[in-house]
Structure 1
């Protein structure tokens, strides 16, 4: 399941909804990304933009690929857009599998691909400056390890 939204999410409620009534899940991995207050300067806010329609399509593709690679019983990607403040939730990735390694690997894969393949753009504000955040070489290297 994927969602792109401006509203915040409740991690506990999302996990409960995903696992409710499920006794076949042996491992659950969650990752939550938060807005930091520093990134080469003091960040006062971050604005996330996306390409509606294209973004959701890419998230569905990435999630489907994770489900092909690992035995997942459930997965969830929630990504926020709009203006966020330091400490706000940005992204939630949840993977559920019979075994922990598959859940860990799938969650890492989803985050690596979200950082490099999903059409999101970040602009940070630091007091009187505003700038677009460039892709990091380390994110590309992390995603490349999944190319097989």
Structure 2
């Protein structure tokens, strides 16, 4: 997904919010469920936030999450939420939106493993060819 860089920070915020909305749409989760899952991911609670010293931030509210997604120019979503959103939705689309303009792509661990296997097979094939050439030159 090679994209053009966003023209300004507002467009960048809109692109990330759109990617998050698309990632959520691909799940069976409501926004309310996503908010609960984000709070669980970060172990957020009112008691934890009110503790002295504080153990976490205050829980994310549905109201604030809706602002992040619907009004990203005024309320850009904090980047650390992407950790939870990627985990909860199983989608790396928000990360792709961020790295795409740099010509980079997201690869899953399975895709990376497949690439490594392919490189090993290529190296084995090359070594066999070299061995064959050495054996032929010996005679």
**TM-score, scaled relative to structure 1:** 0.29
Structure with greater helix share of residues: 2
Structure with greater strand share of residues: 1
**TM-score, scaled relative to structure 2:** 0.30
